[in-house]
Amino acid sequence: MSVNKIEKTMIGVEGHITIWDPENGDVFTRRRNAINFENMSVALANLLANEAGATGSHHIGTMKFGNAGTTIDGVGAVTYKATNTTLSTGALYNQTFSKAVDEAVTGSALNSVEVSHTATNLFSDVIVTCTLDYGEPSGQDATDTATNMDGTYVFDELALYSANDDLLTHVIFHPVQKSANRKIQVIYTLRLRTSYSDV
């Protein structure tokens, strides 16, 4: 008697960020991120079905930055908060800046979303680039003070949001100050991996 096997497909999403100064090559942080699996599953399903959301689309639209992902005590010890990825309503702790990364909006490779795939690999990368030039955000400090870790643009959290404004990912990291004397760039790689097993 033959046994029919069911092929079970598994999809995994993992992410990694690098924040660096593209002018001098200084790397400020490298960190893995957390995925909001509910929102990501909704986005992937709707993208495959070519369906729009209630207020927009499910593709990656913006990168949002915040400054309340960590606490620093009197001796400088940093405590990292948990990521807000367990509920579909998750958000940054305190968003202070947002930038479009959809090149259909930005018209620039410096703020864009690209796909990278090599034939025969069971994964594809979505590479999100977000560049904060010298003059942005408006109201930033003139120079990196390295003393005021509570500033509006001392970032310690960031997230990818869909054009439908759903949080897809959240990462918390050691604070990085954005000041007018430096350009910073975030390279955010999401790896979508597929595999299967016979059941």
Question: Is 1 inside any structural domain?
Answer: no
Helix extents (H) in the chain:
37-48, 103-106
Question: Is 73 inside any structural domain?
Answer: yes
Question: Is 53 inside any structural domain?
Answer: yes
pLDDT recorded at residue 75: 85
Question: Is 4 inside any structural domain?
Answer: no
Domain that holds residue 79: 11-198
* Residue 112 CA, distance from chain mean position: 12
pLDDT recorded at residue 53: 72
Domain count, the chain: 1
How far, CA to CA in Å, does 124 sit from each of 24, 81, 139, 173? Answer: 29, 30, 38, 25
Give yes or no for a contact between 157 and 176, defined as CB atoms under 8 angstroms apart.
no
Question: Is 2 inside any structural domain?
Answer: no
Question: Is 6 inside any structural domain?
Answer: no
How long a stretch of residues is the chain?
A: 199
pLDDT recorded at residue 1: 45
Question: Is 168 inside any structural domain?
Answer: yes
Q: Over the chain (199 residues), what is each successive 10-residue block's mean pLDDT? A: 62 92 95 92 89 82 96 88 94 97 92 94 94 95 76 94 94 94 96 77
Alpha-carbon radius of gyration of the chain: 19
User: Is this prediction's pTM over 0.75?
Assistant: yes
